[in-house]
Amino acid sequence: MPKFTYLARDNQGNIKRGELIAPNEASLAKALRSKGLLLTHAESDVTKKTIFKKDISGLFGKITTTDKILFTRNMQVMIKAGLPISKALEILVKQTSKKNFKAIISDISSNVQKGKSFADSLALYPKIFPPLFINMIKVGEIGGELEKVLDQLATQMKKDSDLLSNIKSAMIYPVIILTLMIAVIIVMIIFVLPELANVFRDIQADLPLTTRMIIGFSDFISKYGIYVAIGIVLIGAIIYIILKSKEGRRKFHKLLLVIPILGINVKKVNLARFARTMSTLLTSGVPIVDTLKITGEVLGNTMYREAILSASNDIKKGLRIVEVLDKNKNLFPPLVTQMVAVGEETGNLDSILKDVAEFYEADVTRTTENLASIIEPILMITLGIGVAVMAIAIVSPIYSMMEKI
């Protein structure tokens, strides 16, 4: 049997080097696990280690959430099978099709082989792997439960991705209809109405108020359309700059929470992400203060982010989580605070938060599906009214002229 030279980490995260005879790497990993060690790299005296050069071409391809879910799930499966982290990473380098992600995984693999922890190697790419990801991996390495943590991470990202996908899917149809409506209106104003206006002027017809208003608007756009377009672009740029500023974004996010229908959905989405992230981190063994800090960074709405980050400081002072959340009753409804209170009292906060997350995720999915069915008839009625007004404004003068002939 081959002799393996290995690198492993104990429960305190310390690197252990040694040699052990085993039939293969999977058996080596199991043998080390029985000693409380997590295998990170192994090299036998029979086969030489394969060295992969980092492919730096195609660095502009976007790494999607799906890419990261597949990476995490594949790592979980290979770790479960007993492969060391470095070997699993080498396999992923081979099977990853995106060149920029391949280069990143190759670099992570190289750092792990040099003795760096998996978490520290991932932390070199903060734009790809956020604090939530890094901290959970770190806890998994230290606690010897990396396989379990990777499974939780993959589930967390999948749930989060599905939640956002449901919202986007519900908005696709309304956006398409609105775009078509605007396109039709622009074509009518620029190409159709000016020609009709010239006809009406030539015959000196008496035009109804509606027709005069539409023709006047068309003439205005024809003469000053370029200035209108520039004005719209400038207003859009100003709004963009304001929203990019910290205070502007804060006020906008605060406004979102009070808009009818939309505000309720924004709250539900943030509550679902809050509960899901908290549950995942607590299950992984991340300390409560760190859990709140990481959760705060994950939330999209500034008001929720500030409340959770402030909560992490209050927890240090000895306050309970339910007491902190109760300070923000406009953000955290009684359902959430009561469930958190029960979780703290029973010691099952992670599982209760998971139930809360599933409740709100299902609620958001149901609401977005219903919202799409509500918006569709509203858009059709609006479109019908717009077409009717336009038709009456155009046909009415023509009909009047026909009566005079």
Reported as a single tens digit per residue, the pLDDT across 378-402 is 777 887 887 787 777 777 777 766 6
Of the three residues 129, 157, 183, the one that is the final residue of a domain is 129
Give mean pLDDT, residues 105-109: 91
- pLDDT tens per residue, range 54-92: 333 334 457 888 899 999 999 999 988 888 898 899 999
Instruction: Name the residue with tokens 């799409």.
Output: 372
Higher-pLDDT residue of 38 and 354 is: 354
Residues 123 and 150 in one domain: no
> CA torsion 122→249→231→378, rounded to 10°?
100
> Distance (Å, rounded) from C-alpha 353 to C-alpha 199?
68
> Distance (Å, rounded) from C-alpha 6 to C-alpha 29?
10
Residues 187 and 318 in one domain: yes
Whether residue 136 lies inside any domain: the answer is no
> Distance (Å, rounded) from C-alpha 259 to C-alpha 380?
23
Whether residue 50 lies inside any domain: the answer is yes
Residues 123 and 158 in one domain: no
The CA angle 114-118-120, to the nearest 5 degrees, is 85
CATH number where 124 lies:
1.20.81
Higher-pLDDT residue of 50 and 10 is: 10
Residues 339 and 274 in one domain: yes
Whether residue 308 lies inside any domain: the answer is yes
Of the three residues 129, 163, 190, the one that is the final residue of a domain is 129
Q: Give the pLDDT of residue 233.
A: 93
Per the prediction, the chain carries an average pLDDT of 81
Q: Give the pLDDT of residue 71.
A: 93
Whether residue 348 lies inside any domain: the answer is yes
Does the pLDDT at position 293 exceed 90?
no
- Encode 283-336 in three state secondary structure: HHCCCHHHHHHHHHHHCCCHHHHHHHHHHHHHHHCCCCHHHHHHCCCCCCCHHH
Whether residue 395 lies inside any domain: the answer is yes
pLDDT band at 280 (very low <50, low <70, confident <90, very high): confident
- pLDDT tens per residue, range 330-378: 899 988 999 989 988 888 888 899 899 889 888 887 877 777 677 777 7
- Contact (CB, 8 A) for 219 and 198: no
Q: Indicate the DSSP class of residue 9.
A: E
Structurally, how many domains does the chain consist of?
Answer: 2
Give the helix, strand, coil percentages of the chain, each rounded to 5: 75, 5, 20
Residues 118 and 152 in one domain: no
Residues 113 and 179 in one domain: no
Does the pLDDT at position 306 exceed 50?
yes
Q: Name the amino acid, one letter, at 145.
A: E
Residues 180 and 95 in one domain: no
Give mean pLDDT, residues 225-231: 89
Whether residue 23 lies inside any domain: the answer is yes
CATH number where 328 lies:
1.20.81.30
Whether residue 140 lies inside any domain: the answer is no
Residues 63 and 103 in one domain: yes
Q: Which domain, by its residues, includes 70?
A: 3-129
Residues 163 and 201 in one domain: yes
Whether residue 139 lies inside any domain: the answer is no
Q: Which two tokens stand for residue 325?
A: 């959340």
Residues 80 and 154 in one domain: no
> Distance (Å, rounded) from C-alpha 302 to C-alpha 147?
33
Most confident stretch, 15-19, 44-48, 369-373:
15-19
Residues 313 and 339 in one domain: yes
Q: Which two tokens stand for residue 396?
A: 């009415």
58: left (phi over 0), alpha (psi -120 to 50) or beta: left
Residues 308 and 362 in one domain: yes
Does the pLDDT at position 182 exceed 90?
no
- Alpha-helical segments (H) within 114-192: 118-122, 131-143, 146-187
Q: Positive or negative CA dihedral for 381, 383, 386, 391?
A: negative
Could you tell me which of 221, 209, 186 has the C-alpha nearest to residue 397? Answer: 209
Angle between helices 246-256 and 262-284 (to 10 degrees): 110
Of the three residues 99, 129, 159, the one that is the final residue of a domain is 129
Higher-pLDDT residue of 120 and 173 is: 120
User: What pTM, to 2 d.p., does this model score?
Assistant: 0.64
pLDDT band at 166 (very low <50, low <70, confident <90, very high): confident
Could you tell me which of 87, 95, 92, 115 has the C-alpha nearest to residue 29? Answer: 87
